[in-house]
Amino acid sequence: MKSKDKDINVSQYIPIKNVQIHQPAKSDAYAPRDQIYVRKVKGVFQKLRQKMNFFFLALFAVLPWLQYDGHQAILFDISEQRFTLWSVTLWPQDLTLLAWLFILSAFLLFFITTFLGRVWCGYLCPQTVWTFIFIWFEEKIEGTANQRKKLDSQAMNINKFWRKALKHFCWGFFSILTALTFAGYFAPMREVFVDFFTFNASFALAATVWFFAFCTYGNAGWMREIMCLHMCPYARFQSAMFDKDTLTVSYDAKRGENRGPRTRKDVPKDVGLGDCIDCNLCVQVCPTGIDIRNGLQYECINCGACVDACDDVMERMRYDKGLIRYTTEHELEGKKVHFVRGKLIGYALVLIVMTSLLIVEMVNRSPVTLDIIRDRNELAKENFNGDIENVYTLKILNKSQKDNRYRLSIKGINNTKWHGEQEILVKAAKVYTLPISISVDPYELEGYMTDISFVIELVSDTDEVKLEHESRFFNKR
């Protein structure tokens, strides 16, 4: 560097320091996660969670075994393209009903999340339920969290081998039972179990069962919180539904700080401490391994385990409970909480509208459908009587769960002649294919094409079902 006639030495004015840049070794670049040893905790919210888990797990296991009117009560038969729900059979033509159900479920989830946070994740999500079941197996076989941690640090021996083998056997067997039950929603339940355990299952059934067993074993046994932290999309967009009046598990920093250990006899204010004794139990019982004291985090599943653990510590220390509790951001700030607010009212109104539309759709749903297929080779022909004749194929779908007799007729043209059956018996949840032809005197036709309607009526003394389907009758040119 030059300034006028003098050379200036930069090192005289700017101190230079050699800095060594740490380059992590390749083995450190993708360090594996630390295994979380979830500590067992008892409390009000854990009892509630366990009872809810047991109820819905029992419901999941029992529902596909239930029978109704001689058939499986709930069966989503993809091969036959029909969904059976008790007395209702849904066909591809009824997919709008399923769409309404999915939309209604989504807005119900949004409503609950806005009001109560991620309680779905903490109390009802299958990933959480099955993870806690697998942790229960660990506790019964390998012991407490500290015992499991100590066991994993030991070299392989007989004690460690049989405990690990028994644990993975229980995980695997429960995963297979889960997969078989899940498959029972899509195939006859009795056949699924019998065929699988007698090795007579089809390739599709066996592949489905083993696939879902593998997924259950991997998700609940090995991946666990990884599903919640990195793979669950709900954790990513939940913040769009949260506001400062949403009930979430939160740590009261004003009351808890400064943290630190003390004896029961110490008064926190006298020793310059808050109510938090920094025992870290809230972290040890968390299934996702987070520290709730760091604030609201998307990894929190609102299971309330840290609330029960902290309340137990507060009770032992003779402090007031609720240092960690279900609360709102406004309450923590000392402001008024608005449980009834615009966003919540909006979701509630949408739920009411969606529910009403679903009810209307179900009420107006016809228990029978009629599809009309014309003869494409010849639209119209003249028969030996000199009448104009059109050929049709009628497909009658009986959506109900009982055999029904139907009567068919046509309107739109006078003095028509029906060639084929006009009264048919259609089995429950079956399609009846009926080829017919309609002929008419050409003098009854005013042009090349006439609008007509096929009418199908239920032959019954009690129920009244009538359906019309538009079609066309062609004249010869």
Q: What is the mean pLDDT of residues 7-19?
A: 49
Q: What is the pLDDT of residues 135-164, one digit of tens each?
A: 999 999 999 999 999 999 999 999 999 999
pLDDT of residue 241: 81
Q: What pLDDT score does 8 carry?
A: 47
Angle at 23 (CA atoms; ends 21, 26), nearest 5 degrees: 180
pLDDT above 70: percentage of residues in the chain: 92
Please compute the mean of the pLDDT values over residues 330-346 and round it to a whole number. Answer: 87
Average pLDDT of the segment spanning 352-368:
84
Per-residue confidence (pLDDT) for residue 131, from 0 to 100: 93
pLDDT at residue 3 is higher than 90: no
Does 132 reside within a domain? Answer: no
Before 258, cis peptide (omega within 30)?
Answer: yes
Q: How far is it, in rounded angstroms, from Cα 273 to Cα 81?
A: 66
The pLDDT of residue 10? 45
Q: Is residue 463 part of a domain?
A: yes
Higher model confidence: residue 213 or residue 362?
Answer: 213
Q: Which amino acid is at 398?
A: N
What's residue 214's pLDDT? 95
Under the banding of pLDDT at 50, 70 and 90, the label for residue 228 is confident
Confidence grade of residue 284 (pLDDT, cut at 50, 70, 90): very high
What's residue 168's pLDDT? 96
Determine, yes or no, domain membership for 441: yes
Do 373 and 325 have their domain in common? no
**In the predicted model, what is the mean pLDDT of residues 308-337?**
91
Q: What pLDDT score was predicted for residue 9?
A: 52
Assigned domain for 32 exists: no
Band of residue 463 on the pLDDT scale cut at 50, 70, 90: low
Q: Does residue 19 sit within a domain? A: no
Q: Which residue has the tokens 């209702």?
A: 88
Q: What are phi and psi of 437, to 5 degrees?
A: -140, 150
Domain assignment present for residue 425? The answer is yes
Range 448-459 average pLDDT = 89
Count: domains in the chain: 2
Query: Over the chain, what is the mean pLDDT?
Result: 85
Answer whether residue 468 is part of any domain.
yes
Query: Are residues 328 and 372 both part of a single domain?
Result: no
Residue 432 burial (10 A CB sphere; 0-12, 13-18, 19+): middle
Distance CA 399, CA 407 (A): 16
The answer to whether residue 215 scores a pLDDT higher than 90 is yes
Mean pLDDT to the nearest integer, 400-405: 84
Lowest mean pLDDT among 7-21, 150-164, 194-208: 7-21
What is the mean predicted confidence (pLDDT) over 188-217?
91
- Structural domain that includes position 420: 368-474
Domain presence at residue 402: yes
The CATH number that applies at residue 449 is: 2.60.40.10
pLDDT confidence bin for 118, thresholds 50/70/90: confident
b/e for 211-233, b at 16 or more Cβ within 10 A? ebbeebbebbbebbbebbbeebe
